Amino acid sequence: MGDMANSSIEFHPKPQQQRDVPQAGGFGCTLAELRTLMELRGAEALQKIEEAYGDVSGLCRRLKTSPTEGLADNTNDLEKRRQIYGQNFIPPKQPKTFLQLVWEALQDVTLIILEVAAIVSLGLSFYAPPGEESEACGNVSGGAEDEGEAEAGWIEGAAILLSVICVVLVTAFNDWSKEKQFRGLQSRIEQEQKFTVIRNGQLLQVPVAALVVGDIAQVKYGDLLPADGVLIQANDLKIDESSLTGESDHVRKSADKDPMLLSGTHVMEGSGRMVVTAVGVNSQTGIIFTLLGAGGEEEEKKDKKGKQQDGAMESSQTKAKKQDGAVAMEMQPLKSAEGGEMEEREKKKANAPKKEKSVLQGKLTKLAVQIGKAGLVMSAITVIILVLYFVIETFVVEGRTWLAECTPVYVQYFVKFFIIGVTVLVVAVPEGLPLAVTISLAYSVKKMMKDNNLVRHLDACETMGNATAICSDKTGTLTTNRMTVVQSYLGDTHYKEIPAPSALTPKILDLLVHAISINSAYTTKILPPEKEGALPRQVGNKTECALLGFVLDLKRDFQPVREQIPEDKLYKVYTFNSVRKSMSTVIRMPDGGFRLFSKGASEILLKKCTNILNSNGELRGFRPRDRDDMVRKIIEPMACDGLRTICIAYRDFSAGQEPDWDNENEVVGDLTCIAVVGIEDPVRPEVPEAIRKCQRAGITVRMVTGDNINTARAIAAKCGIIQPGEDFLCLEGKEFNRRIRNEKGEIEQERLDKVWPKLRVLARSSPTDKHTLVKGIIDSTTGEQRQVVAVTGDGTNDGPALKKADVGFAMGIAGTDVAKEASDIILTDDNFTSIVKAVMWGRNVYDSISKFLQFQLTVNVVAVIVAFTGACIT
């Protein structure tokens, strides 16, 4: 790493003598300096970087790293950095002790009723009021029990307590083993969680825990940042910092205005490159967790020392706890060593006062209360009958009078009657119910893990048993997500197969290769197959992989183009998002002008084209009438074959006509169409049968996709979501919004209720449309019972819909970290069939508990009748 000092990075030293003096471990920055730096924002941070390091390149030099080549991937150097600057994990909070789990188990409503009844019964069994036998009182000793019965009176209460103890211990043990499993499972997931860094000039995927200070990390849309860093270069980068600041607006980041990136924040748009400056407990997330006591024993010792040195620290920590508790709870999973995500999520859910119980929990709690009330009524009737019988028998039939000396004897009679009443109440309560629920849930969750369902919230397992609607993505869930270009329109010719390179003019071929190679994420690539005879490996965005594969099919290579124009030489990038549905990249040309390459949804991008390349590679006008002809003759036939259609275009800007790059609508306009390609993404072979199973089970499956309406309809027909002759709706996002909104643009539930029952396909939809649909179905009151909706999502913007749904499924492979955070269940294989398995196990929970209730309530009803009748007769 010492060679980095001789790298080509330009460095302009400021007049500070200590700048080039090596500090901690030979590095030019101490841990404290970097922590202080990361607490600054905006202009203040830029000023500090300029004063202390000159610029970001100077900071890199001090950290002995290269902004372009990264670290040297030397084991000794990496270990040295971990020793000096810390490792990239936050030790999780200590798991709940067994006694804490026992206490939580005791909070169950059913168990509370049993506990009260047992204590009362046990206490009364030892009660013996003073009183002697008296002829005037009827020659009875208080209670009419023989000595043996009186001595055995405690057994009833003790038996109830014993059953409660058994239930509590088994429940606590199940919770303990479940927590242990979740921690182990989450630990494995976190070990598999990778982040892209540059080492030795090569892009590498390394485990998040392996990141060190000085690493050059690639940041892209959908990432959950695993460490603090300073931006080196950014393309249209926007960050959601709400988890730290509470501000809902996305913050635009750039190297020259606000370069500070913080761990735990979400990348909502764009891409970039940063130098890692703080990891683990030294990052902003880690500092909060240290204050919350989640940083392990070492940090706790440091905190205690700090408290001794400064009494004010304790109050500041208490304040930080209150302010940042919720934030830290959300961010715990990012870098924990053993994976406390499940525990924190469940604790968060338990601590939220407004969080509703799951459907099953709600029903069982209601049932327990109803049974308790019924038992109370029966016990009260029993006591009343016994008291009336005693009073009538003693004072009416036998004609006795109430004597003062007989009061203790009569009181003991009434105490016995009360004990009998408590016995009836105890018999009425189904003491095995909590245990049955716990065992059934634990068993189902374990089985779901084997069926590629990682259950993050236990109640999601039981809720899936009630599912009546599934809103599924298309790409990767219903389809294989292995995309290939199978048709294309180039130079006025529609090719049903890959054209021979000789069939295309050099200009068209050259423009096409450059447009695809440059205007796609440089992390997306096609790698050689792992095994001989296997397919090439697609790494990164699958649509871009299909386009890069198209370049290779044309006997060209994208890598030399990227080496000629590296990512840091890109002048401006408009990254893909769900609103613009396109991606554009600007490069500087040798003559001083600029060239923009753009790709995106064909019917959207073609509207921005005013020219098209003819068979000779020359420009010709592209009028609205020509566009309509192309849509009718080229795009619609491709879409009806189930192909995704992508338009590839470009635009040149002369040297003296540099536009306002922030005005995207002006820049991405007046385009020249190079090609339209049709990309095939085959339906998973097992999906049609899985959807038939859902339909037979009474579950409606809806496809919600960003694809063209014709493509979506064709795929839906292949999957079996829509059937010939059925009365269904296939709508685009615009038409969907037109139907459900009033003149003021407000959503009306009444209008939505007319749309969703028949809706099967929602195409060209945005994440907002998905959220609107899910919310509308859940809020609908048209049926006798409300709909229970499951939703799949993989993108960052799917978060609101995943949270709103009764059960949110995130894609384990293609899903962003943000989507996984918002979900209840993660599909580890991204397969729709796994959702059907989740429904099956959810229903298994219901069936198992229903069977148990049939048995338990039958026993209890008979027992109550016997106890009631026996008590009243004797």
- In the prediction, which pLDDT does 267 show? 84
pLDDT tens digits along 75-106:
888 999 998 988 888 776 677 888 988 888 88
Q: Is-contact 265 223, C-beta < 8 A?
A: no
Average pLDDT, the chain: 80
- In the prediction, which pLDDT does 727 show? 83
127 pLDDT above the threshold of 70? no
- In the prediction, which pLDDT does 21 show? 42
pLDDT interval class at 599 (50, 70, 90) = very high
The DSSP-derived string for 194-214 is EEEEEETTEEEEEEGGG--TT
- In the prediction, which pLDDT does 73 show? 79
Of 240, 324, 473, 681, which one is the catalytic site residue? 473
Q: What is the DSSP letter of 497?
A: S
- In the prediction, which pLDDT does 165 show? 87
- Strand partners of residue 597: 585, 650
Average pLDDT over residues 530-547: 84
Using DSSP bridges, classify how beta strands 453-455 and 266-278 pair: parallel, antiparallel or unpaired: unpaired
Which residues make Cβ contacts (< 8 Å) with residue 328, sequence separation at least 6? 285, 288, 289, 292, 294
Please say if 473 is a catalytic residue.
yes
Secondary structure class of 403 (helix, strand, coil): coil
**CA-based radius of gyration for the chain:** 35
- In the prediction, which pLDDT does 469 show? 94
Cα gap 507→652, rounded to integer Å: 15
Delineate the domains of the chain, giving CATH numbers in brackets. 2-91+214-278+280-331 (2.70.150.10), 452-479+684-843 (3.40.50.1000), 484-680 (3.40.1110.10)
Cα gap 750→741, rounded to integer Å: 10
List of long-range contacts for 723-731, beta carbons under 8 Å, 24+ apart = 727/758, 728/758, 728/759, 728/760, 728/761, 729/755, 729/758, 729/759, 729/760, 729/761, 730/760, 730/761, 730/763, 731/755, 731/759, 731/761, 731/762, 731/763
Q: Which of 434, 59, 79 is nearest to 275 (CA)?
A: 59
456 pLDDT above the threshold of 50? yes
Residue 503's H or E segment, with its range, is none
Cα gap 403→148, rounded to integer Å: 29
The sign of the dihedral angle between the CA atoms of 817, 821, 823, 825 is positive
Residue 435's H or E segment, with its range, is helix 433-450
pLDDT over 90 percentage in the chain: 24
pLDDT interval class at 656 (50, 70, 90) = confident
Average pLDDT over residues 704-725: 89
pLDDT interval class at 725 (50, 70, 90) = confident
789 pLDDT above the threshold of 90? yes
Q: Is-contact 226 211, C-beta < 8 A?
A: yes
395 pLDDT above the threshold of 60? yes
- In the prediction, which pLDDT does 247 show? 64
13 pLDDT above the threshold of 70? no
Average pLDDT over residues 741-750: 90
Average pLDDT over residues 757-779: 90
Cα gap 267→252, rounded to integer Å: 10
Residue 305's H or E segment, with its range, is helix 296-309
Secondary structure class of 607 (helix, strand, coil): helix
- Highest mean pLDDT (candidates 135-139, 444-448, 614-618): 614-618
- In the prediction, which pLDDT does 304 show? 44
Q: Would you mind telling me the total number of residues written for the chain in this entry?
A: 874
pLDDT tens digits along 806-847:
999 988 877 777 788 788 898 888 888 899 999 999 888 888
Distances (CA, A) of 665 to 39, 660, 668: 36, 10, 5
- Strand partners of residue 276: 229
pLDDT tens digits along 202-239:
888 888 888 999 999 988 877 888 899 999 988 878 88
| 3-state SS track over 638-652 | HHHCCEEEEEEEEEE
28 pLDDT above the threshold of 90? no
Secondary structure class of 263 (helix, strand, coil): coil
Average pLDDT over residues 730-738: 92
Distances (CA, A) of 402 to 385, 396, 406, 724, 781: 20, 11, 7, 86, 62
Average pLDDT over residues 732-740: 92
pTM equals 0.64
326 pLDDT above the threshold of 60? no
Cα gap 464→799, rounded to integer Å: 19
Q: Residue 119, Cβ neighbours under 10 Å: how many?
A: 14
pLDDT interval class at 753 (50, 70, 90) = very high
675 pLDDT above the threshold of 90? yes
